[in-house]
Amino acid sequence: MISDANWGSGRARRQARRTFGLVLVTSFSVLVPLIHSSAHAALLAYDPFQYGDVAIPALGQYAVGSENSGVKVLGGQNPTIGPTAFYGGPWIQSGGDSQVVKAVPSLYHPSLTDGIGGIQGESVQFECCSFGRSGRPIAGGLGGGAARTVYESFLIDFGTQGTDDPANFGKRGHELWNGGIGDAFQAVDLFLNHFSGVNELSLAVTTASGSMQVPVAGGGLGLEELAATYDGVHLVVMKYEFNPIAPDVVSVFLDPAMGIEPGTPDAQIVVPTSDLFITHHGAFTNFTFSGPGHVPGAIDEIRWGGTYADVTPARVPEPGSWALLGLGLSGGLAWRRRI
């Protein structure tokens, strides 16, 4: 079973890399627009899986639970997640697939601002399996009306197979549905699924007109490859373009730059009939039955917004990093004077 200590040790490793990573990835010309974008806070919703000793909906807090005992599960919890009335009700559990919020440090990505609260993460249960699927309704749904573009971002760790058979990783991913929760209601899926032979991270979009699927980043991103970068934690931005008189478009950006939307997505599906509709979004969907040695995944820092900048608040360097940057700029100016 995955303990909080396991999550904590990963967090410690990420913390150790933080200062060094900041120095490497920042420069003055890049920092100015990023800092400006981080001040842009016109979010529709921000769910960091904040938790307390008891669930306090008015403060957007969750109760910490346990899948094994079935206590304080995610399904049924209805914290107020602002700053707008984005959600239309509590989390809904799919069948017996309970999920919980864990009181462990937030997932970390070197580009995104530090998170708060815990995570929605899976645990190995019964010495064999990790499984869970939950969804939360979106007030009024997305699509099916006036032209609108909505962005979603989140941090996701797809986990690893550890000592289990690497080919039996089950299904892992992030799902969105239309009309309910489960395979029959699939609308958008960012996933890997060995049950259906999808061994690389892929995007699928399903509407009444049919289903389309493409690999992310051209393919080649299996569990091992995803675990090998960013300590296995990836920033995902998904863009949903709804238009009643033109094609709907779903785009995925994997570990993108902050603040300014990249010109080319890592995956994109165009729905020519413009009939995409989303009523619920999920947490981290996980179905793995390979044994006790695998490491399940997690999701955190879910943001919804009207612009790309809304959902990609960039990390602002700590004071020590500003000092190092200043020294670097001073050295560069001195070098220019010498030549």
DSSP state of 195: G
Q: How high is the pLDDT of residue 318?
A: 53
Structural domains counted in the chain:
1
23: three-class secondary structure by DSSP: helix
Residues contacting residue 337 through CB under 8 Å, at least 6 positions apart:
none
The CA–CA distances, whole Å, from 337 to 328, 333, 334 equal: 14, 6, 5
CA gap 248, 186 in Å, rounded: 16
Rounded to 5 degrees, what are φ and ψ at 126? 55, 25
User: What is the residue range of 194's domain?
Assistant: 4-338
Which distant-in-sequence residues (6+ apart) come within 8 Å of 20 by Cβ? Answer: none
| Range from 57-61, 115-119, 314-318 carrying the lowest mean pLDDT | 314-318
Q: Confidence band (pLDDT; 50, 70, 90) for 332?
A: very low
State pLDDT tens for residues 90-111: 999 998 899 999 999 999 999 9
Sign of CA dihedral 86, 88, 91, 96: negative
pLDDT at residue 333 greater than cutoff 70: no
Type of residue numbered 179: G
Q: What is the pLDDT of residues 144-169, one digit of tens each?
A: 888 999 999 999 999 999 999 999 99
Write out pLDDT tens, residues 64-92: 999 888 899 999 999 999 999 999 999 99
- 83 preceded by a cis bond (ω within 30 of 0): yes
d(CA 310, CA 252): 16
At residue 317, does pLDDT exceed 70?
Answer: no
State the Cα–Cα distance between residues 279 and 295, nearest whole angstrom: 30
Contact 49, 119 (CB under 8 A): yes
Q: For residue 3, is pLDDT > 80?
A: no
Least confident among 55-59, 114-118, 236-240, 267-271: 55-59
**At a CB cut-off of 8 Å and minimum separation 6, what does 285 contact?**
132, 133, 171, 172, 173, 174, 175, 191
The conformational region for residue 149 under phi > 0 = left, psi -120 to 50 = alpha, else beta, is beta
Q: Is the pLDDT of residue 322 over 90?
A: no
d(CA 150, CA 311): 10
| Confidence check: pLDDT of 40 > 90 | no
Q: Average pLDDT for residues 181-197, to the nearest whole number?
A: 97
Burial of 15 (0-12, 13-18, 19+ CB in 10 A): exposed
Q: What is the pLDDT of residues 9-28, one digit of tens each?
A: 454 444 444 433 333 333 32
The pLDDT confidence band at residue 8, using thresholds 50, 70 and 90, is: very low
Q: Which of 21-30, 191-200, 278-287, 324-333 has the lowest mean pLDDT?
A: 21-30
Beta carbons within 10 angstroms of residue 233's beta carbon: 26
Give me the phi and psi of 264, to 5 degrees please: -125, 125
**What is the helix (H) or strand (E) element at residue 223, kind and residue range?**
helix 223-227
